[in-house]
Amino acid sequence: MTLAASTGDLEVVRCMLDGGADVDAVNMAGYGAIHNAIYRTAGRAGGAAELVGLLLERGATPDRATGDRETPLRIAAGFADFEVVRLLLARGVDPAPLRWTPLMDAVVFGSLADVRARLAEGADVEATDAWGRTALHLSLQAGDLDKRDALLAAGAALDLAGMDGGSPLSYAIVPSHPAVLAWLLAQGCDPEAPNRYGQTPLMEAVLAGAVDAVRMLLEAGARADRTDEYGGQVITEANDLEIVRLLLAHGAGIDAVNDAMRLRLFGIADRDPLDLPRKVYLAGKEPRFGAANPEVMAVPFWDAMVRSRVSAYEARHRFGDTQSYDTPVWCFARFGRTLTALPDGRYVEIAGEHEDFYDPDFCIYNDVVVYDGAGGFALYGYPEEVFPPTDFHTATLAGAYIYLVGSLGYQGTRRAGQTPVYRLALESWRIEPLATHGEQPGWISRHTAAYDAKPNQIVVRGGKRITSDQDYVDNEAVYTLDLATLTWRQSGD
């Protein structure tokens, strides 16, 4: 029941309840269906009111606390899902944990006349609730501009610190209120101000799936390429195709798009459930190199893995192949691969690795997958001597070619002082190694690369290098590769 509520699917929950599911079932942490329903719909249009209403009608306990002492009321109020708060209070839940004043109650549930009446009575406009919100903050989260104006006229101050030490822009993002957000931006609120958890307003908007808020924040100068405290990119958290496209248009790195959204970009609507005969799996499960440059790899199991993105472990268990782990299972759930968007709407994914070196399904790949953007794709393989297994490289589009720079590769193949560079022709999908010279970055990986068209150069920054002692050290220099002369030059910029 708790899992069903986590989907946010009203009909799935209704079907389970009709089938006799326990509406008050909880998971190991004490979270029940109501808790999960509110979390699942946090910040979304409409909130969780309809789903929570159904659960309450079927007898769910409205004030059950989790092991962390979280109650439905506290969760709903924290996310400003005020319709759920109204439902819970109507069921007799104690409002005391909210620490709302009569003015706050009027702001959330009353009329403009009610707000003015409380103000006339001398209500404290700077009093705060359990989340540190004032009545003005609650008016912003409710999206009520008239009440906002009444509070401002009564002397309420806009706290530029906002919740969690961040920007008050958060009040207009969860839930999303574009008119309020526009006003806050006009007041000078910083679209880049992170909260105490390192989240910027743009990160919050992406997580909430608030398309309008994402667009407005980007137009106000929010950085689409900003990373969190762990190095994660905001676009990785995007699960709305329109948001993904907005972030890409404003400079987010396409390599960080998650698998679900990649499939949407490629025109592949749903992940393949691997509904294949076992004999198809057995015939195609082992990785192999291409025999030509390129060879079209017409392997039905591989095609299914491209569409499914499941792990090799999952595929093994799906087909009952758990007796021997002598060879890895071919897999497309990879790290260190690249994704390149072509001007004609096609996309190209290149190589990458699956799992770590100690895993039986660890494998570094050397293939290229070209997507037509309408659901179709072609998978190309290459001889190992033409294009070795490659991961954590960069793929840079320049004219009619994609230039592949760097790799981590298998231990024993890394050559300190040498930089692997390959050129992929878009017309034929043929790959050729390039002999470069000059001040090379060496065996580099996890770096960034960008094409500078005017001097016809690729600029390489950051990442890690392999030293002559096979140590893995930071790359602190900037390198440029002249594509006309294939000459590297180092600079300190």
What is the residue extent of each domain of the chain?
A: 1-97, 182-257, 259-391, 412-492
For the structural domain made of 1-97, what CATH number should be given? 1.25.40.20
Residue of 409, 350, 337 lying closest to 379 (CA atoms): 350
Q: Is the pLDDT of residue 29 over 60?
A: yes
Q: Are 63 and 72 in contact (CB under 8 A)?
A: yes
Cα–Cα dist 139/180, whole Å: 10
Cα–Cα dist 316/314, whole Å: 5
Q: How far lies 449's CA from each of 20, 264, 403, 452, in Å?
A: 57, 25, 10, 10
Q: Is the pLDDT of residue 233 over 80?
A: yes
Q: Longest Cα pair distance anywhere in the chain, in angstroms?
A: 84
The two three-digit tokens of residue 451, written as one number: 């094409």
Opening angle at CA 218, ends 212 and 219, nearest 5:
90
Of the pLDDT bands very low, low, confident and very high (cuts 50, 70, 90), residue 184 is very high
Q: Tell me whether residue 83 is exposed, middle or buried, using C-beta atoms within 10 angstroms of its C-beta: 0 to 12, 13 to 18, 19 or more.
A: middle
Q: Is the pLDDT of residue 165 over 70?
A: no
Cα–Cα dist 314/404, whole Å: 31
Q: Are 241 and 210 in contact (CB under 8 A)?
A: no
Instruction: Confirm whether 1-97 and 182-257 share one CATH topology.
Output: yes
Of the pLDDT bands very low, low, confident and very high (cuts 50, 70, 90), residue 161 is low
Pick the CATH number of 182-257 from 3.40.50.920, 1.25.40.20, 3.40.47.10, 3.20.20.70: 1.25.40.20
> Terminus-to-terminus CA distance in the chain, angstroms?
56
Q: What is the mean pLDDT of residues 352-371?
A: 97
pTM over 0.75: yes
Cα–Cα dist 350/401, whole Å: 13
Cα–Cα dist 5/33, whole Å: 5
Q: Tell me whether residue 456 is exposed, middle or buried, using C-beta atoms within 10 angstroms of its C-beta: 0 to 12, 13 to 18, 19 or more.
A: middle
Cα–Cα dist 186/49, whole Å: 32
Q: Is the pLDDT of residue 162 over 60?
A: no
At 403-429, the pLDDT tens digits run 999 999 999 999 999 999 999 999 999
Of the pLDDT bands very low, low, confident and very high (cuts 50, 70, 90), residue 463 is very high
Q: What is the pLDDT of residue 194?
A: 86
The two three-digit tokens of residue 17, written as one number: 């309840």
Q: Strands 487-491 and 437-438, how do they pair?
A: parallel
